[in-house]
Amino acid sequence: MRKVIFFPGYACTSKIWDETSKIFDNEKCIVSFVDWPEKSLNNFTKIEDFSNWVEKEYDLKDSILVGHSMGGLVAFNIAKRNDKIDKLILVESFLKTPNKFFQNLYLEGTSLKIKDKINTMLKKESKYYSKELGPKLKDLDLTIELEELGLDVTAIYGQRESSSSVKVVKNLGLDEVYHKYLKIKTISKSSHFPMIENSEAFNKIILESLNE
């Protein structure tokens, strides 16, 4: 039976996957939705600290890892350093630090209810994190490591205000040589939290990606 493990992003909890969890009611999978350990987070100063914790807490053999934002970088790091992982799905995770096109949490037209849900979560959870971690999540370039990974990787991004997948892909800033290592998919009417802003489209793409 397939195992799927979902990682939240920085200052996020497993609640971001609430709508996604419903799609597994009729799927034959063992699904885990990770919450980062609040009591330990102040000592997590780099991505490797999150990866070490995951490897102690979860059986990763033949797993599909799905990570949002920083959680995707954790999943990428885990996949990079062992051969247990079956597939990797990145959600709004950037192997190169993104430009201004991606510097927004949600669309202007997103409902106040959703905006408040996201803002409240981020404000509450951010206080647990080490101040040393933030700077290490910037100025990244993991593209060479992507080439060396040798794994099936899908990357999912919100389209922002654009209706063009081409524009989204262009703004990722990846040299075309690296496109062959990524299956890039985009979701309309969403930004950094596509699983919340456009859960129906997101869930469809997740199931499609899991079954490819």
CATH number of 128's domain: 3.40.50.1820
Q: Residue 34 and residue 167: Cα distance in Å, rounded?
A: 32
Full residue range of the structural domain in which residue 197 is found:
2-211
Q: Residues 177-192: pLDDT tens digits?
A: 788 889 999 999 999 9
d(CA 9, CA 152): 21
Instruction: Enter the tokens of residue 175.
Output: 């040299």
- Looking at every residue in the chain, the average pLDDT score rounds to 93
Task: Give the model's pLDDT for residue 10.
Answer: 97
pLDDT value of residue 161: 86
**Whole-angstrom distance, CA of residue 194 vs CA of residue 71:** 15
Closest CA to 82 of 68, 106, 61: 61
Number of domains in the chain: 1
Q: Report which of 83, 70, 173 is spatially closest to residue 122, judged by C-alpha positions.
A: 70
Per-residue confidence (pLDDT) for residue 107, from 0 to 100: 93
Checking phi first, is residue 92 left (phi over 0); if not, alpha (psi -120 to 50) or beta? left
The segments of the chain whose pLDDT lies below 70 read 27
Query: Radius of gyration over alpha carbons of the chain, in Å?
Result: 16
Phi/psi for 86 (5° steps) reads: -90, -40
Q: State residue 205's pLDDT score.
A: 97
Taking the C-alpha atoms of residue 208 and residue 13, their distance in angstroms, rounded to an integer, is: 24
